[in-house]
Structure 1
Amino acid sequence: MDVRILVDSEHGAVHLAELHHWLADVPELRGRLTPLEAPPPPGVLGPTLEALLLAIAPGSVATAFATALVSWLRHRSGAVRVELELPDGSRVKLEADRVREMTDAELRGQLAAVLAGLSAGQPTGAPRVGRDRAPADEGAAPTG
C-alpha cells in the first residue's frame, strides 16, 4: 500500500525535506520513499517538494515508519502537523506539539494508533490522536 505523507507548517517544504532525509536513514524504509514534487511557481527555479509517497507493508516496515515518524515529530519545534493519507482516502494526523508533551504510555498509544491506521485504515474524519484524545477513548470528549 502507498501512503502519502504531507507536512503542514509555516515551512512545510523544508520540514518535508527534513522528514524525507530522516526517513531515508531508516534501513527498513530505504527504496520505499518517493518525493512528490510540484512544478515551480512562476519566477522560482526548480520544483517544490509537495509530499512523500511511502510504499508500506504491515509488520517491520510499518513499525519502523511509525517509530521514525513519531521520533522526528518529537524533535520539531513550533507547530508542525503530519498527515498520512491512506489509499482509501482516510487520514491519520499527528501534531508535533502534542507528541512532545506525551508521557511514555501516551507515546506507546500514539505508535499503536499510527500502526492501526496503517494496517487497517481508519474512516474518513478519524479522530486526531494526541493529548486531547487517546485512541482508547474515541467516543469521549476532548480533555485538553
Structure 2
Amino acid sequence: MDVTVAVAGDAPADDLYSLRARLIEEDGLEVVLIESPAVPGRLGPGVDALQIVAGSVSSAFVASLVAWLRTRVGAVRVVVKSKDGAQIELDAKTVGALDAAGTAELIRELRAALEASEEK
C-alpha cells in the first residue's frame, strides 16, 4: 500500500501532524511528511500531506484514520489518494455521526476500495 493523505480544514498542518502522531504508533506503517518549499512570509516549509507506505493494505491504517477523524471537530476533510489516482474523501462531520455498525462498515468499505486500487 502506498497512499497520500491530505487534510483540508481550519488548521490542515496541525491536523496532519496530529494524524501522523496517531499513525506512527501503528506497526508496519511508514509515515512520511510531504513538505512544500518555503514561501516568502512563512517560516520554513509547509506540510502538504502524508505518504503512508505498508507492505499491503493495512487494517491498522484504515481503522486509525477513521478513529482519528471521529475525534476532529469542525469542517475537517481527508482525501486519501492511491498511486493509481483513485481517491477517497471523508469528512469529520459524516464520520462522527456514524454509529458503531456504520463505522465498522466504513472501515470495511475503505479497506476494500484501497485493496481494489492496489490490484490495478
TM-score normalised to the size of structure 1?
0.77
Decide which structure has greater strand share.
2
Aligned partner of 2:4: which letter?
R
Number of residue-to-residue matches in the alignment: 118
Structure 1 residue 34 displacement after superposition: 0.9
2:117 counterpart (118, 121, 129): 121
C-alpha deviation, 1:17, in angstroms = 1.1
- State whether residues 73 and 100 of structure 1, in contact with CA within 8 Å, keep that contact through their aligned partners in structure 2: yes
Structure 1 distance, partners of 2:78, 2:54, is 17
C-alpha distance in 2, partners of 1:4/1:106? 24
Q: Which has the higher contact order (CA 8 A, sep 6+)?
A: 2
- Report the Cα offset of residue 99 of structure 1: 0.9
1:44 positional shift: 1.5
2:22: which partner in 1? 22
Structure 1 stretches of at least 4 aligned residues deviating more than 3 Å after TM superposition: none
Deviation at 1:23, TM superposition (A): 0.8
- In the TM superposition, 1:68-107 aligns within 5 A as 68-107=64-103
Aligned partner of residue 45 in structure 1, secondary structure: coil
Task: Kindly state the Cα deviation for residue 69 of structure 1 after the two structures are TM-superposed.
Answer: 0.4
Alpha-carbon distance in structure 2 between the residues aligned to 1:43 and 1:80:
25
Separation of aligned partners in 1, 2:54 and 2:26: 13
Q: CA RMSD in A?
A: 1.5
The aligned residue for residue 46 of structure 2 is: 48
Which protein shows a greater Rg?
A: 1
Please name the residue that 1:10 is paired with. 10
Contact persistence 1:3–1:56 (CA under 8 A): no
Secondary structure, counterpart of 2:28 in structure 1:
helix
Corresponding residue of 2:106: 110
In structure 2, list runs of 5 or more residues that go unmatched: none
